[in-house]
Amino acid sequence: MPPAIAEPSPTPDQSAAGMRDMRIRSIVATILEAPTIRRHKLSNTEIAHQGFVLVRVMLVNGVTGIGEASTLGGPRWAEESVESIQAVIEKYLAPALADQNAMMFEANAVRMSKAATRNFAAKAAVESALFDAVGRTLDLPASALLGGQVRDRIGVIWALASGDSGQELEEAREKLRLRQHKDFKIKLGFNTPDADVRRLQHLRAGLGDDVRLIVDVNQAWTEALCLRLFPALEELGVALIEQPVPASQRDAMARVASRTRIPLLIDEAAFTNTELASVASQACGSVYSLKLVKSGGLLELKRAAGIAQAFGIELYGGCLLESSIGAAAHMAVFSTLPKLEWGSEHFGPRILVDDLVAAPLVFEEFEIHVPTGPGLGMTLDEDKVRFMARKAGSQ
């Protein structure tokens, strides 16, 4: 009889053991530029294109995880730009994580911290991709790796930031008609203070008293200006004021907070958990904006939420105009928090002319749905990614 022909052994990537081999094979970072549906103004910049760094983490088992870093018009909101994020990931973070087990989240965060100081957006994008890759390998949502969901949808705020009150009123009414958003954040500080107040008065008159208005000054006012303008904001029924004075002026922010009935939202004044504990101790505000670009990762974001709540500070799900990828990473964390008093402002996917994924996040009945599916629950649209990828030699 002829000798039996042995069946070929499965390759490592095909076997059960191979699927459990979650060592990091490579990390790639790509700069993308996504046009927005309208200009978006802040006190120190305005954008018509949103910059992203798309991160892909490839594992030995063949699974690829995706993450995203977002900036606003370069190193203006914080020190990172898409160029610096890409460079830090490729030159420092990727080598530090080479051949490491992707599931060792804490150990990998320590490795990234040793490889680069701060650079929080870069670290958060990589860690998001790690959670996505591990979740895809285990067929689990990222939220399951973070303790499990307590909610599957989150109230979502829309930002009004064109500076044209007529256009903004029409925009807000359309969001209400579509039942997508009923709470609105108005960007202030890029116009004169009196013009800001007139704009708010126009919006309040046009939207009625039942609509919740939040204002974001983006550090543009002085303490004296706050004391002059806050009574007008109180009269207009403003629900929350975000970062009215420069982040470094913590004593001024604490004094301002003590002299208004409107709660202050701490944002740029606290990136690290040490900074958060400090501003909380100084009573700089009573609400904290949670952002991956400040905390540097999903694990640190959960820790920030715990620190804020230990001081009696309420939680607000902040954003930096992320696409559905970055928003999904935030949702993975937000869905696991016992409390999220102010909901989320992750409207970023809807301000883009086109999202980066095949099936964007769902907005319905004034809420954003936490994505289902393994990892972050997002699938790239490769044609869109190729179209938005920055071409070699362009700036």
CA neighbor of 102 nearest in space, from 131, 125, 123: 131
Nearest to 212 by CA among 176, 238, 173: 238
Distance, CA of 35 to CA of 323 (rounded, Å): 11
Q: Do residues 338 and 150 lie in contact, with contact meaning Cβ atoms separated by under 8 Å?
A: yes
Query: Token pair of 253, please?
Result: 């922010």
C-alpha to C-alpha distance for 29 and 250, rounded to whole angstroms: 36
CA 292 to chain CA mean position, Å: 5
Between CA 303 and CA 306 the distance in angstroms is 5
Q: Is 382 exposed, middle or buried (0-12, 13-18, 19+ CB in 10 A)?
A: exposed
Catalytic (active site) residue 314: no
| Partners of residue 57 on adjacent β-strands | 27, 65
Q: Which of the residues 291, 345, 367, 384 is marked catalytic?
A: 345
Q: Which residues does residue 317 pair with via DSSP β-bridges, in sequence order?
A: 290, 344
CA distance 304 to 277: 9
3-state secondary structure of 376: coil
Q: How far apart are CA 144 and CA 373, in angstroms?
A: 11
Does residue 187 have an active-site annotation?
yes
Q: Are 379 and 136 contacting, i.e. CB atoms less than 8 angstroms apart?
A: no
SS3 155: strand
Task: Name the nearest CA neighbour of 142 among 331, 342, 15, 309.
Answer: 331
**Strands in the chain per DSSP E:** 24-41, 46-59, 64-70, 153-155, 158-160, 183-187, 212-216, 240-242, 264-266, 287-290, 314-317, 363-364, 367-369
The catalytic position among 123, 182, 187, 302 is 187
How far, in Å, CA of 86 to CA of 81, rounded?
Answer: 9
Query: Which residues are identified as catalytic?
Result: 187, 345
